[in-house]
Amino acid sequence: MRKRYYIFIVTHDWDGQLRRIPIPVQWVVLFVVFAVVGAGTLLGLAGSYTHMLTKVRALHDLRQERAALVRQLASARRETRRTRAEVASLGSLASEVSSLYSFGGKQTPGGHLQEVSDSASTAHLYSASLQSFEALETGALDGRLLDHLGEQLWRPDIWPVQGWISSPFGERRDPFTGEGSFHPGIDIAVDVGTPVHVTASGVVVWASRFGGYGNCVIVNQGHGFKTLYAHLSAFAVAVGEHVTQGEVIAYSGDSGRSTGPHVHYEVRIHNVPVNPYPYL
Protein backbone atom coordinates (compact mmCIF):
# COMPACT_ATOMS: atom_id res chain seq x y z
CA MET A 1 0.00 0.00 0.00
CA ARG A 2 1.36 3.35 -0.99
CA LYS A 3 2.21 5.64 1.91
CA ARG A 4 0.55 9.02 2.12
CA TYR A 5 2.48 12.15 3.06
CA TYR A 6 1.85 15.73 3.90
CA ILE A 7 4.28 17.96 2.09
CA PHE A 8 5.48 21.09 3.90
CA ILE A 9 7.20 23.68 1.68
CA VAL A 10 9.70 25.96 3.33
CA THR A 11 11.20 28.95 1.58
CA HIS A 12 13.94 31.45 2.48
CA ASP A 13 13.55 35.05 1.44
CA TRP A 14 17.24 35.71 0.92
CA ASP A 15 17.86 32.95 -1.65
CA GLY A 16 14.37 32.06 -2.86
CA GLN A 17 15.05 28.36 -2.63
CA LEU A 18 12.18 26.04 -1.79
CA ARG A 19 12.51 23.01 0.41
CA ARG A 20 9.97 20.26 0.53
CA ILE A 21 9.57 18.33 3.78
CA PRO A 22 7.47 15.19 3.49
CA ILE A 23 5.78 14.07 6.74
CA PRO A 24 3.86 10.80 6.87
CA VAL A 25 0.14 11.10 7.67
CA GLN A 26 0.55 8.76 10.65
CA TRP A 27 3.00 11.19 12.25
CA VAL A 28 0.61 14.07 11.76
CA VAL A 29 -2.22 12.06 13.27
CA LEU A 30 -0.02 11.08 16.26
CA PHE A 31 1.03 14.71 16.72
CA VAL A 32 -2.59 15.88 16.71
CA VAL A 33 -3.59 13.13 19.16
CA PHE A 34 -0.72 13.98 21.53
CA ALA A 35 -1.52 17.70 21.25
CA VAL A 36 -5.19 17.11 22.11
CA VAL A 37 -4.28 14.80 25.00
CA GLY A 38 -1.66 17.27 26.28
CA ALA A 39 -4.05 20.18 26.05
CA GLY A 40 -6.72 18.21 27.90
CA THR A 41 -4.22 17.22 30.55
CA LEU A 42 -3.08 20.81 31.01
CA LEU A 43 -6.67 22.01 31.23
CA GLY A 44 -7.45 19.29 33.80
CA LEU A 45 -4.41 20.22 35.87
CA ALA A 46 -5.34 23.89 35.68
CA GLY A 47 -8.89 23.10 36.77
CA SER A 48 -7.68 20.92 39.65
CA TYR A 49 -5.24 23.61 40.77
CA THR A 50 -7.96 26.26 40.67
CA HIS A 51 -10.32 23.98 42.63
CA MET A 52 -7.57 23.32 45.16
CA LEU A 53 -6.93 27.05 45.57
CA THR A 54 -10.64 27.59 46.15
CA LYS A 55 -10.69 24.88 48.82
CA VAL A 56 -7.57 26.31 50.47
CA ARG A 57 -9.14 29.77 50.63
CA ALA A 58 -12.35 28.28 52.03
CA LEU A 59 -10.35 26.32 54.63
CA HIS A 60 -8.42 29.47 55.58
CA ASP A 61 -11.69 31.38 56.01
CA LEU A 62 -13.11 28.56 58.14
CA ARG A 63 -10.01 28.56 60.33
CA GLN A 64 -10.29 32.31 60.83
CA GLU A 65 -13.98 31.96 61.70
CA ARG A 66 -13.16 29.14 64.11
CA ALA A 67 -10.43 31.21 65.79
CA ALA A 68 -12.86 34.13 66.13
CA LEU A 69 -15.52 31.84 67.63
CA VAL A 70 -12.98 30.37 70.05
CA ARG A 71 -12.01 33.89 71.18
CA GLN A 72 -15.67 34.85 71.58
CA LEU A 73 -16.37 31.67 73.55
CA ALA A 74 -13.38 32.27 75.82
CA SER A 75 -14.50 35.86 76.38
CA ALA A 76 -18.05 34.71 77.13
CA ARG A 77 -16.76 32.12 79.61
CA ARG A 78 -14.62 34.72 81.36
CA GLU A 79 -17.58 37.09 81.54
CA THR A 80 -19.76 34.28 82.92
CA ARG A 81 -17.16 33.39 85.56
CA ARG A 82 -16.80 37.06 86.49
CA THR A 83 -20.57 37.51 86.79
CA ARG A 84 -20.92 34.35 88.84
CA ALA A 85 -18.09 35.45 91.12
CA GLU A 86 -19.74 38.84 91.64
CA VAL A 87 -23.13 37.22 92.29
CA ALA A 88 -21.59 34.73 94.70
CA SER A 89 -19.71 37.54 96.46
CA LEU A 90 -22.84 39.63 96.91
CA GLY A 91 -24.98 36.67 97.91
CA SER A 92 -22.42 35.32 100.37
CA LEU A 93 -21.88 38.65 102.07
CA ALA A 94 -25.61 39.35 102.31
CA SER A 95 -26.24 35.86 103.66
CA GLU A 96 -23.39 36.08 106.18
CA VAL A 97 -24.30 39.47 107.62
CA SER A 98 -28.01 38.72 107.66
CA SER A 99 -27.56 35.33 109.31
CA LEU A 100 -25.20 36.74 111.94
CA TYR A 101 -27.28 39.74 112.93
CA SER A 102 -30.82 38.69 111.92
CA PHE A 103 -31.11 41.72 109.69
CA GLY A 104 -33.48 41.61 106.74
CA GLY A 105 -34.33 38.73 104.44
CA LYS A 106 -36.16 35.48 105.05
CA GLN A 107 -34.07 32.98 106.98
CA THR A 108 -34.02 29.21 107.03
CA PRO A 109 -33.78 27.17 110.26
CA GLY A 110 -30.00 27.08 109.74
CA GLY A 111 -29.87 30.86 110.12
CA HIS A 112 -28.88 31.67 106.50
CA LEU A 113 -30.82 33.52 103.88
CA GLN A 114 -33.21 31.33 101.93
CA GLU A 115 -31.48 30.30 98.69
CA VAL A 116 -32.92 31.05 95.30
CA SER A 117 -34.14 27.94 93.44
CA ASP A 118 -31.86 26.37 90.84
CA SER A 119 -34.19 27.49 88.08
CA ALA A 120 -33.77 31.16 88.97
CA SER A 121 -31.73 33.13 86.47
CA THR A 122 -28.38 34.72 87.23
CA ALA A 123 -29.90 38.13 86.57
CA HIS A 124 -32.61 37.51 89.17
CA LEU A 125 -30.06 36.36 91.74
CA TYR A 126 -27.87 39.37 91.01
CA SER A 127 -30.85 41.71 91.42
CA ALA A 128 -31.89 40.03 94.67
CA SER A 129 -28.35 40.31 96.03
CA LEU A 130 -28.23 44.02 95.19
CA GLN A 131 -31.55 44.56 96.95
CA SER A 132 -30.24 42.77 100.02
CA PHE A 133 -27.15 44.98 100.05
CA GLU A 134 -29.23 48.13 99.67
CA ALA A 135 -31.20 47.06 102.72
CA LEU A 136 -28.00 46.29 104.61
CA GLU A 137 -26.52 49.61 103.60
CA THR A 138 -29.60 51.45 104.83
CA GLY A 139 -29.52 49.55 108.09
CA ALA A 140 -25.80 50.20 108.48
CA LEU A 141 -26.61 53.87 108.90
CA ASP A 142 -28.04 52.93 112.25
CA GLY A 143 -25.28 53.44 114.80
CA ARG A 144 -26.52 50.53 116.88
CA LEU A 145 -25.94 48.12 113.99
CA LEU A 146 -22.43 49.49 113.50
CA ASP A 147 -21.69 48.96 117.18
CA HIS A 148 -23.06 45.43 116.94
CA LEU A 149 -20.83 44.68 113.96
CA GLY A 150 -17.77 46.08 115.72
CA GLU A 151 -18.37 43.90 118.79
CA GLN A 152 -18.90 40.52 117.11
CA LEU A 153 -17.14 40.51 113.71
CA TRP A 154 -13.37 40.52 113.20
CA ARG A 155 -13.25 42.96 110.32
CA PRO A 156 -10.20 43.17 108.01
CA ASP A 157 -10.27 46.95 108.19
CA ILE A 158 -6.57 47.93 107.98
CA TRP A 159 -4.13 47.92 105.06
CA PRO A 160 -1.68 44.99 104.87
CA VAL A 161 1.03 47.36 103.52
CA GLN A 162 1.28 51.02 102.63
CA GLY A 163 1.65 51.49 98.87
CA TRP A 164 -0.21 52.38 95.71
CA ILE A 165 -2.87 50.23 94.04
CA SER A 166 -1.34 48.82 90.87
CA SER A 167 -4.36 46.66 90.00
CA PRO A 168 -7.90 46.99 91.43
CA PHE A 169 -10.54 44.37 92.21
CA GLY A 170 -12.77 43.21 89.38
CA GLU A 171 -12.50 43.27 85.61
CA ARG A 172 -9.08 44.10 84.18
CA ARG A 173 -6.72 43.29 81.28
CA ASP A 174 -4.53 40.30 82.11
CA PRO A 175 -0.89 41.54 82.20
CA PHE A 176 0.36 38.27 80.65
CA THR A 177 -2.23 37.48 77.95
CA GLY A 178 -3.60 40.98 77.30
CA GLU A 179 -7.14 39.61 77.45
CA GLY A 180 -9.93 40.56 79.81
CA SER A 181 -9.99 38.70 83.13
CA PHE A 182 -11.46 38.91 86.63
CA HIS A 183 -9.05 40.01 89.37
CA PRO A 184 -10.20 38.58 92.74
CA GLY A 185 -8.24 41.01 94.90
CA ILE A 186 -6.14 44.18 94.84
CA ASP A 187 -2.43 44.53 94.08
CA ILE A 188 -0.47 46.95 96.27
CA ALA A 189 2.91 47.90 94.83
CA VAL A 190 5.72 48.01 97.43
CA ASP A 191 9.43 47.25 97.58
CA VAL A 192 10.63 43.69 98.13
CA GLY A 193 10.95 42.91 101.85
CA THR A 194 8.23 45.30 103.05
CA PRO A 195 6.56 43.88 106.21
CA VAL A 196 3.05 42.56 105.53
CA HIS A 197 0.54 43.01 108.38
CA VAL A 198 -2.48 40.80 108.96
CA THR A 199 -5.62 42.90 108.49
CA ALA A 200 -7.73 41.07 111.10
CA SER A 201 -7.08 38.64 113.94
CA GLY A 202 -7.35 34.97 113.13
CA VAL A 203 -5.59 31.63 112.67
CA VAL A 204 -3.03 30.94 109.93
CA VAL A 205 -4.35 28.11 107.74
CA TRP A 206 -1.81 28.37 104.91
CA ALA A 207 1.80 29.54 104.76
CA SER A 208 3.48 28.03 101.74
CA ARG A 209 3.68 28.23 97.95
CA PHE A 210 0.27 28.27 96.27
CA GLY A 211 0.41 27.99 92.45
CA GLY A 212 0.37 31.31 90.62
CA TYR A 213 0.05 33.12 93.97
CA GLY A 214 3.65 32.18 94.73
CA ASN A 215 4.46 32.32 98.43
CA CYS A 216 1.10 32.82 100.09
CA VAL A 217 -0.40 33.23 103.58
CA ILE A 218 -4.10 32.65 104.30
CA VAL A 219 -5.63 33.63 107.65
CA ASN A 220 -9.03 32.41 108.83
CA GLN A 221 -10.86 35.13 110.79
CA GLY A 222 -13.91 32.99 111.49
CA HIS A 223 -17.56 33.64 110.54
CA GLY A 224 -16.65 32.53 106.99
CA PHE A 225 -14.08 35.31 106.56
CA LYS A 226 -10.56 34.68 105.28
CA THR A 227 -7.81 37.02 104.09
CA LEU A 228 -5.11 36.07 101.57
CA TYR A 229 -1.67 37.62 101.02
CA ALA A 230 0.32 36.52 97.95
CA HIS A 231 3.60 36.96 95.98
CA LEU A 232 5.57 37.07 99.23
CA SER A 233 9.34 36.76 99.61
CA ALA A 234 9.40 35.25 103.12
CA PHE A 235 7.11 34.09 105.93
CA ALA A 236 6.96 35.30 109.53
CA VAL A 237 4.30 32.82 110.71
CA ALA A 238 3.48 29.13 110.43
CA VAL A 239 0.25 27.20 109.96
CA GLY A 240 -1.76 26.96 113.17
CA GLU A 241 -0.50 30.20 114.72
CA HIS A 242 -2.99 32.70 116.08
CA VAL A 243 -2.22 36.21 114.85
CA THR A 244 -3.48 39.56 116.04
CA GLN A 245 -4.58 42.39 113.78
CA GLY A 246 -1.55 44.44 112.72
CA GLU A 247 0.97 41.67 113.39
CA VAL A 248 3.67 41.07 110.75
CA ILE A 249 2.98 37.74 109.04
CA ALA A 250 5.26 37.91 105.97
CA TYR A 251 7.38 40.12 103.70
CA SER A 252 6.47 41.35 100.24
CA GLY A 253 8.13 39.96 97.14
CA ASP A 254 7.74 38.94 93.52
CA SER A 255 7.10 35.19 93.69
CA GLY A 256 4.60 33.31 91.53
CA ARG A 257 2.79 34.78 88.53
CA SER A 258 3.87 38.36 89.02
CA THR A 259 5.13 41.25 86.90
CA GLY A 260 6.87 43.13 89.71
CA PRO A 261 7.18 43.48 93.50
CA HIS A 262 3.77 43.85 95.14
CA VAL A 263 1.34 42.26 97.59
CA HIS A 264 -1.81 40.63 96.22
CA TYR A 265 -4.52 40.95 98.90
CA GLU A 266 -7.91 39.23 98.99
CA VAL A 267 -10.88 39.16 101.33
CA ARG A 268 -12.97 36.00 101.01
CA ILE A 269 -16.36 35.09 102.43
CA HIS A 270 -16.99 31.35 102.33
CA ASN A 271 -14.03 31.14 99.91
CA VAL A 272 -15.66 33.62 97.50
CA PRO A 273 -13.49 36.71 96.78
CA VAL A 274 -15.20 40.02 97.59
CA ASN A 275 -14.09 43.59 97.04
CA PRO A 276 -11.65 44.53 99.88
CA TYR A 277 -12.27 48.29 99.48
CA PRO A 278 -15.36 48.51 101.77
CA TYR A 279 -13.28 47.08 104.62
CA LEU A 280 -10.20 49.30 104.23
- Say how far apart CA 236 and CA 241 lie, in whole Å: 10
Residue 31 belongs to some domain of the structure: no
Residue 244 belongs to some domain of the structure: yes
Coil, helix or strand for 127? Answer: helix
pLDDT band for position 110 (50/70/90)? Answer: very low
Contact predicate 159/220, CB 8 Å: no
Higher pLDDT, 118 or 253: 253
Q: Give tens-digit pLDDT for 152-207.
A: 446 898 999 999 999 999 888 887 887 878 899 999 999 999 999 999 999 999 99
Same domain, 120 and 177: no
Contact residues for 157 (Cβ-Cβ < 8 A; gap 6+): 199, 200, 279, 280
Residue 188 belongs to some domain of the structure: yes
Last residue of a domain, which of 151, 177, 196?
151
In the chain, how many domains are there?
2
**Partners of 173 in the beta sheet?**
180
Domain limits at 263? 155-279
Same domain, 140 and 162: no
Q: Give tens-digit pLDDT for 56-87.
A: 888 888 888 888 888 888 888 877 776 766 66
User: What is the residue type of 149?
Assistant: L
pLDDT (0 to 100) of residue 250 = 97
Contact residues for 230 (Cβ-Cβ < 8 A; gap 6+): 185, 210, 213, 214, 215, 216, 256, 263, 264, 265, 266
* Arithmetic mean of pLDDT over the chain: 78
CATH of the domain at 191: 2.70.70.10
Residue 140 confidence (pLDDT) above 50? no
- Model confidence, pTM: 0.51
